[in-house]
Structure 1
Amino acid sequence: MSQDPPHAKSRSVSVDDIGVRRQLADGSEESVTWAELSAVVIRVIPEGPWKEDVFLMLAGADGKGTAVPSGDPAADALIERLQSLPGFDNDKFVEAMTTDADEAYVVWKAEKTSTN
């Protein structure tokens, strides 16, 4: 994987009680609210240690979402928040954060609610 194009680089990431927003260098924004969050995937690519190689992928129920590099200053606050999600697989998270395998690790999925 080559370097991110300039428009894909983060200008800022914010984590709050509403959700996660990533402002990109080109001025566009990616976001997902906690209410719409449907899955959390840790994506590891074999680019490290000199390039970002671990991304926190947050998928929304509407198909939108954002990817936060693990080296971003907001990543620690994001990880703390994600680890508080019910059913978060912390063992799989630790495995993902300590590997150099080219792989995606699903560490959390929203529970499906039935309408019976």
Structure 2
Amino acid sequence: MHGNSVPEPGTDSRVPDSYVYVTEEGVTRHYSDGSVEALAWEDVVEVRVGGADDADVLIVLLDRDGEGCVVPRSATDATFLARLRYLPDFDLDRLSSAMETANSGYVVVWRSPEPPSPLPDLEYD
């Protein structure tokens, strides 16, 4: 998704609202106001789908702290979908169904099957 842009509804499509980039390391969304959302694939613990009747369907990737990256459906491509398949037991059919029936609420389509690992007890001298 190198350079795919998502125009804001009702605006000139030549002036993008944001850009979404997918790499082997993670997903980054750059907004026109200069803000950035980024999440490493290794930190993704939940994927949600939602949207509104008059807006693009959104795919939300979250980490353990609830921070994440929002990817509009219009910015998804084969690279993004292929990378989602690397998440343990990720079901692309479930994602597809959720995107087709998305409404103003959000539906969890994937959650990490592994519980958070506890931090090791470290002893210092």
- Cα gap change, 1:97/1:29 in structure 2, threshold over 3 Å: closer, same or farther? same
Per the alignment, residue 58 of structure 1 pairs with 61
CA offset at residue 108 of structure 1? 1.2
Alignment of 1:94-113 (within 5 A): 94-110=96-112, 111-113=114-116
Give a deviation string over 1:24-78, Cα, whole Å, max 9, x none: 101111011111111011113211xxx42x0110101232111011102xx1121
Gaps of 5+ in 2: 1-8, 11-16, 119-125
The whole-number CA distance in structure 1 between the counterparts of 2:104 and 2:96 is: 15
The whole-number CA distance in structure 2 between the counterparts of 1:108 and 1:60 is: 12
Q: Which has the higher strand share?
A: 1
CA offset at residue 14 of structure 1? 0.8
Which of 27, 40, 47 is equivalent to 1:40? Answer: 47
Q: Normalising to structure 1: TM-score of the pair?
A: 0.75
The whole-number CA distance in structure 1 between the counterparts of 2:40 and 2:98 is: 24
- Cα gap change, 1:100/1:31 in structure 2, threshold over 3 Å: closer, same or farther? closer
CA offset at residue 103 of structure 1? 3.2
Per the alignment, residue 68 of structure 1 pairs with 71
Instruction: Please state if 1:28 is matched with 2:35.
Output: yes
The worse-fitting range, judged by mean Cα deviation, of 56-65 and 82-91 is 82-91
SS in 2 for 1:61: coil
The worse-fitting range, judged by mean Cα deviation, of 83-92 and 31-40 is 83-92
CA offset at residue 86 of structure 1? 1.4
The alignment covers a number of residue pairs equal to 102
- Cα gap change, 1:100/1:57 in structure 2, threshold over 3 Å: closer, same or farther? closer
Greater Rg by CA: 2
SS in 1 for 2:50: strand
Q: Which amino acid aligns with 1:69?
A: P
Runs of 4+ in 1 over 3 A off after TM superposition: 100-103
Q: Which amino acid aligns with 1:21?
A: T
